Amino acid sequence: MSDPLRHAFAHCPRCRESMGIFDEGGVVRPTCSACGFVQYLNPSPAAATVIRRGRLVCLVQRKYAPKAGEWTLPAGFIEYDEAPAEAARRETFEETGLDVRIDGLVAVHQGVLPPDRPVILIVYAATELGGELLAGDDAAAVGFWPPDAPPGPIAFSSHRRVLAALAAADREAAR
């Protein structure tokens, strides 16, 4: 994991004074010495869906950096006042055109959005209700593939972990 101070403000966003660094029991807290503003350096929460068609799983090809051209589960960042499951449903619709119902939690993984943004990925199982499979604005392509045979590299380690677990569960179910 990268140095959290790379993300620290040099100047207070409230009063423009220089920020100092307080060490709170080993946790770094950039803090304004003038007004007391504290910059909490937390991971960004994101949500993803696992949508199956038999043994196949829905994957989206990234259109934009980072990792343009590589593949992920349908996923995106959770908005300020949005519930995680709603973010998963919204991002899935925006990227794939599929209207889905969120069924339950699959996994929660720590990850990094390159170059160094820490992310917590919340992964839900989802079922197609309707819609039309069509790559959305920030997707280059969308489709269904076996979890152990995606059409190209998987962009993020957290998504690779989900696909590996799906492939292992599929193998177990086939025995």
User: What is the nearest approach in angstroms of Zn ion to the Cβ of residue 108?
Assistant: 34
SS3 93: helix
SS3 121: strand
C-beta of 21 vs 105, nearer to Zn ion: 21
Kindly state the tokens that stand for 6: 């790379």
Binding site for Zn ion (CB under 5 A): 12, 14-15, 17, 32, 34-35, 37
Tokens 């038999």 found at? 54
C-beta of 32 vs 123, nearer to Zn ion: 32
User: What is the nearest approach in angstroms of Zn ion to the Cβ of residue 18?
Assistant: 9
| Of residues 65, 137, 128, 139, the one with CA closest to residue 102 | 128
C-beta of 16 vs 101, nearer to Zn ion: 16
C-beta of 19 vs 87, nearer to Zn ion: 19
CB atoms within 10 A of CB 12: 20
User: What is the nearest approach in angstroms of Zn ion to the Cβ of residue 162?
Assistant: 41
First-to-last C-alpha distance (Å) of the chain: 38
User: What is the nearest approach in angstroms of Zn ion to the Cβ of residue 5?
Assistant: 18
Rounded Cα distance, 73 and 27, in Å: 32
User: What is the nearest approach in angstroms of Zn ion to the Cβ of residue 36?
Assistant: 7
Kindly state the tokens that stand for 147: 């979890």
C-beta of 15 vs 21, nearer to Zn ion: 15
SS3 123: strand
